[in-house]
Amino acid sequence: MEPLISVKNLKKHFYVGEGVLKAVDGLSFDIYPGETFGLVGESGCGKSTVGKTIIRLYEPTDGELVYDGKDIYGLSRKEMQVIRKNFQMIFQDPYASLNPRMNVEEIVGEPLDIHKVYESKADKRNRIIELLELVGLNEEHSMRFPHEFSGGQRQRIGIARALSLNPKFIVCDEPISALDVSIQAQVGNLLKDLQDKLGLTYLFIAHDLSMVRYISDRVGVMYLGHMMELAKSEELYINPLHPYTKALLSAIPIPDPEIQKNRNRIMLEGDVPSPINPKECCRFVERCRYAIDKCSEETPEFKKIKEDHFVACHRVGVKYIEML
């Protein structure tokens, strides 16, 4: 199967005073039609920047993004306007992403107005009601304003807006992290149901590693702008290879007091180093208990260790060869 989205050596740098903040620094991965690609990592690692750069809310510093055989980073604004209907985003904060001065009908209908995809006002109205019902709301909600809704309902409105143009690809930028725990599973299930019904493809960015395992087909682990590990979801959670991935997964709580009490929690020492003017080395070297001299001198190659499992670590490759 050909990938729907192919990200090649993606970079997004911000110039801060005399330094360069390398938020995303050379990521490459594919996302296939109908797939959910999970992206995880701690705060500040560049996950959200990846999502916003992919759909050109941020202009990339370097790299390619191939969609439908075209590098969309080379398209003009007019050409991008045609492509953009297929790219949408669900934002993290449902309280900040909806205009408080617009009612729900105006919010959900705004993309329809921008791209002029309806024939009459009645046609537009029917489409808006259809979208609201698709996300578990109804016609009565259409004339209300965002402050009249709960956080979960606001996120459903954001999802309806993202679906209005029948996109093929949606960036879900931590869509459940600002919601109550009791609501998170409902929104996660809604996203899965919509994917099955509409054939959507997701980039799912999140902190909640349990939800990422539940919703994702493959998962990439980021640290300070670099991809550390990428594998199928179950493979990554059962057989993590990178020291950072192992530390992340060891932090997932298990709902059994006896098992939780006897678990070997991997505690990372030290603080996350600054992403401004980083050295050419492994970004994780200062917090890694397995680091050797080579880790401080050379950036590890992001390489295939086994089928559908990629790791950026000098020691993992050597260890795997020795095991063979």
Is the pLDDT reported for residue 251 higher than 90?
Answer: no
170-198 pLDDT, tens per residue? 999 999 888 888 888 899 999 999 999 99
Write out the H or E segment, with its range, that includes residue 232. strand 226-232
| Domain interval for residue 290 | 5-323
Q: What's the gap between Cα 116 and its chain centre? A: 29
pLDDT given at position 323: 37
pLDDT given at position 134: 96
pLDDT given at position 262: 65
Q: Model confidence at 82, in pLDDT bands (50, 70, 90)?
A: confident
Is the pLDDT reported for residue 102 higher than 60?
Answer: yes
pLDDT given at position 121: 92
CB contact at 8 A, 105 and 129 = no
Number of domains in the chain: 1
Helix, strand, coil share of the chain (percent; to 5): 40, 25, 35
Listed in sequence order, the residues at least 6 apart from 292 whose beta carbon sits closer than 8 Å to its beta carbon are: 314, 315
pLDDT given at position 321: 38
What's the chain's average pLDDT?
90
The percentage of residues in the chain with a pLDDT greater than 90, rounded to a whole number, is 69
Is the pLDDT reported for residue 248 higher than 50?
Answer: yes
Strands 169-173 and 87-90 turn out to be: parallel
Q: How far apart are CA 235 and CA 44, in angstroms?
A: 25
Give the number of residues written for the chain: 324
Q: How far apart are CA 13 and CA 22, in angstroms?
A: 5
Assessment of whether the complete model's pTM goes beyond 0.85: yes
- Phi, psi torsion values for 43, nearest 5 degrees: -55, 135
Residue of 128, 318, 160, 167 lying closest to 241 (CA atoms): 318
Q: What's the gap between Cα 146 and its chain centre? A: 25
Residue of 173, 224, 135, 164 lying closest to 58 (CA atoms): 173
**Radius of gyration of the chain measured on its C-alpha atoms:** 21
CB contact at 8 A, 153 and 98 = no
Torsional sign, CA 198, 202, 208, 211: positive
**Mean pLDDT to the nearest integer, 235-264:** 80
Residues β-bridged to residue 170: 88, 202
Torsional sign, CA 120, 123, 129, 134: negative
3-class SS of residue 262: coil
Q: How far apart are CA 5 and CA 53, in angstroms?
A: 13
pLDDT given at position 320: 42
Residue of 29, 28, 33 lying closest to 1 (CA atoms): 33
Domain of 60, CATH number, reads 3.40.50.300
